[in-house]
Structure 1
Amino acid sequence: MEEKRIHEFFKRYQDIFRQGLKNEANMEQVASSYATAFIAASPARVMAGQNDEQLKQVMRQGFERYRQLGTKDMTLRGIRIAPIDAHHCLAHVAWTATYDRGAAPDVSIDFDVHYFVQQLDGDPKVFGWVSGDEQALLRQHGIV
């Protein structure tokens, strides 16, 4: 698994997320970032899902929620890759989300997400991720 391809993948992922914040995301492109099935874990829950129409709908709703919260940008700060084997890695990805607070100054929040990535014959695909307590972080910074 080439680290360069993983870095390129997450740069594209950042671009896709930014398009979603503008309500311009191509949902086929969004879905193409994920494997046919995936797992997700946070302090709120652990879930498993399929890369299907429901994923696209959940992603649309997620982008809408971020827009309602005033999220205006999502910036990739860094990536640290831990190889697992020839086809899998754990990518520790550092993000900064910037929120428009209207008359108040923008708020930027740093956070990390840990992605399980698989690369077989084609492009890398996310098959899982672990994130922190997003709601607590948003409350802490006065976003919600």
Structure 2
Amino acid sequence: MEEKLVREFFERYQDFFRQGLKDEADMEQVASSYATAFIAASPAGVNVGQNDEQLKQVMRQGFERYRQIGTKDMALRGVRINPIDEHHCLAHVAWTATYDRGTAPDVCIDFDVHYLMQQLDDEPKIFGWVSGDEQALLRQQGIL
């Protein structure tokens, strides 16, 4: 899998996320970023899911939560991949989230997420990700 293709994928994903922050996301497009099934791992545990209506509902709720806590932007800082085979890679993706703090200055938080990617036919798909403790990071930065 080519790094250029994976970078372009995450550039589109960034656009979908930004649309979600404006409550303008096309949930079909967002869901099209994911494989039929996926895993998610963080310090909160490991979860598995299906790319179905429940995923779209969870994503809608996630965007709403981000808006509630003042998230105003999600910017892609970088993508680096470790190929696994011709159809799979591990994508290390660096993000910067910007939070509106009202009368206080905005807060920008850098973080990384590691995505398991698969490309079988056309576009790459996310079939898993590993992230840090987002809630602890948000509390540490005074967002929560």
TM class by shorter chain equals over 0.9
User: How far off its partner does 1:2 sit?
Assistant: 1.7
Question: Is residue 109 of structure 2 the alignment partner of residue 116 of structure 1?
Answer: no
2: CA distance, partners of 1:137 / 1:36: 30
- Secondary structure class of the residue paired with 2:95: strand
In 1, are the aligned partners of 2:117 and 2:124 still within 8 Å (CA)? yes
Q: Could you tell me which residue of structure 1 aligns to residue 97 of structure 2?
A: 97
Q: 5+ residue gaps in structure 2?
A: none
2: CA distance, partners of 1:90 / 1:19: 25
Q: Could you tell me which residue of structure 2 aligns to residue 45 of structure 1?
A: 45
Q: Could you tell me which residue of structure 2 aligns to residue 65 of structure 1?
A: 65
Q: 5+ residue gaps in structure 1?
A: none
In 1, are the aligned partners of 2:3 and 2:80 still within 8 Å (CA)? no
How many residues are treated as equivalent by the alignment?
Answer: 144
Q: Could you tell me which residue of structure 2 aligns to residue 135 of structure 1?
A: 135
- Secondary structure class of the residue paired with 1:5: helix
Question: Is residue 76 of structure 2 the alignment partner of residue 76 of structure 1?
Answer: yes
CA displacement, residues 23-79 of structure 1 (integer Å, 9 cap, x when unaligned): 000000000000000000000111000000000000000000000000000000001
Amino acid across the alignment from 2:87: H
2: CA distance, partners of 1:141 / 1:6: 30
CA displacement, residues 60-111 of structure 1 (integer Å, 9 cap, x when unaligned): 0000000000000000000110000000000000000000000000000000
- Secondary structure class of the residue paired with 1:143: coil
